[in-house]
Amino acid sequence: MRDVRALTADYEHWLGGHIPLDRAELRRKHDELAHDEYRFLRGTYYLWLVRAAAEVPEVFGHAAVPLVGDLHVENYGTWRDQDQVRRWGVNDLDELARGSWLLDLVRLATSAVLAPHLSLGQHEVCDTVLASWYAATPGAAVDLRDAPRLAPLVPESVDPHAFYSQLTRGPEAYDVPAGVVAAAERVAEPGWRPTWHVHEAGTGSLGHRRRVGVGPAADGSWHAREAKELGPPTCVWAGEQRVSVRVPRREDTAYDAVVTAVRGPAGAARVGDWQVRDLAPDVVRIKPAGLHRHESRRLLEAMARAAADVHGADAVSLAQARAQTVSEPEFRELVATMVAAVRGDFHARE
């Protein structure tokens, strides 16, 4: 089995053949990955796919649905839909593909076990994720007005002036393709007049070009749109590796289908290998830290149901998936295997 360094070098060489990479940011990413097992999992989706294919190949044989792919407990947050309704659900769809529904659930549960800030035991995590997914009624993402138990867990919005001022502190950027700029303007408020800046955020996407346009609209209100160069989905690289399973496959129609199904953000667009999304003071991620046990469980239930919302963008495929019963002991064993695999790679990365 190839080691962490070899697989990482191979993946970064492959990605660098498709999009320009910032090598200094990649070095910083490697430093961040050494912080803890959870952050390592977040930033190595490419490694996850290869290891899962080797360690739990049976996961890949289940019904294929629209798959989040790079799912973890910090891949959830808020947005405003076309009607300006504030919703909560999966807010990072960079790695959308079509693949086994079970792969998303195993990764979500593995991330919850490894996350240092969730006060739940491993068996409870597994049973909560599996039961909540089966019990979910897929549809639009959660309207926070109808979620009194979830709303208190959402961080409060920051001061708008401080928020937009912070975004303009990066160096000005002049390398955003004209088509991406045009797409950002189409999903922004009328008369939006931005300046574009270098933007640094996240862990897994460090090394990718990430830019943010910030400025006033015609009515004087300030707005921001982030443009991130993704490159091809990681599953494309994984499919080129010598694995014995059928890994998730690229599906270019998945993004529009999922955004429509869950009533995704109005200020977002996909342009080739670039993702445009709204940045605003009230567009926030839940960071599951400092929660009581019952709050952690409630949040994990909502996360599994939000994954079902994404899977439900294809109702026929989801029905096929729901017909495939996975028992609690089976699911616990799959997650335990992947937790051990991630921990092994984390400690073997040096």
For the ranges 68-82, 138-152, 257-271, 283-297, which has the lowest average pLDDT? 283-297
* pLDDT value for 203: 64
pLDDT in tens, 170-227: 899 999 999 999 999 999 999 999 999 998 776 667 778 899 999 999 999 999 999 9
Evaluate if residue 349 carries a pLDDT over 80.
Answer: no
Residues 93, 69: Cα–Cα separation, whole Å: 8
* pLDDT value for 47: 95
Q: What confidence category does residue 126 fall into, taking pLDDT thresholds of 50, 70 and 90?
A: very high
The structural domains of the chain, with segments of one domain joined by +, span 4-348
Question: What value does the mean pLDDT of the chain take?
Answer: 92
Give the contacts of 67 (CB within 8 A, at least 6 positions apart).
96, 97, 98, 99, 100, 101, 103, 104, 248, 310, 311
Q: What confidence category does residue 53 fall into, taking pLDDT thresholds of 50, 70 and 90?
A: very high
Residue type at 103 in one-letter notation = L
Evaluate if residue 78 carries a pLDDT over 90.
Answer: yes
* pLDDT value for 296: 87
Q: What is the mean pLDDT of residues 82-111?
A: 96
Evaluate if residue 30 carries a pLDDT over 90.
Answer: no
* pLDDT value for 1: 61
Q: What confidence category does residue 64 fall into, taking pLDDT thresholds of 50, 70 and 90?
A: very high
Residue type at 214 in one-letter notation = V
* 311, containing H or E segment: helix 293-311
pLDDT in tens, 258-307: 999 999 999 999 998 899 999 999 998 877 777 788 888 999 999 999 99
| Percent share of the chain, pLDDT over 90 | 76
* pLDDT value for 23: 85
Evaluate if residue 75 carries a pLDDT over 70.
Answer: yes
Residues 16, 131: Cα–Cα separation, whole Å: 40
* pLDDT value for 330: 98
Let me know: does 200 contact 171? Beta carbons within 8 Å.
Answer: no
* pLDDT value for 348: 83
Residue type at 142 in one-letter notation = V
Residues 196, 168: Cα–Cα separation, whole Å: 8
Give the contacts of 299 (CB within 8 A, at least 6 positions apart).
150, 153, 286, 288, 291
Q: What is the mean pLDDT of residues 321-340?
A: 97
Give the contacts of 35 (CB within 8 A, at least 6 positions apart).
none
Q: What confidence category does residue 116 fall into, taking pLDDT thresholds of 50, 70 and 90?
A: confident
* pLDDT value for 285: 84
* pLDDT value for 350: 66
Q: CA-based Rg of the chain, rounded to a whole angstrom?
A: 19
Let me know: does 22 contact 207? Beta carbons within 8 Å.
Answer: yes
pTM of this structure: 0.94
Q: Which two tokens stand for residue 189?
A: 């408020």
For the ranges 51-55, 151-155, 199-203, which has the lowest average pLDDT? 199-203
Q: What is the mean pLDDT of residues 59-80?
A: 95
* pLDDT value for 143: 95
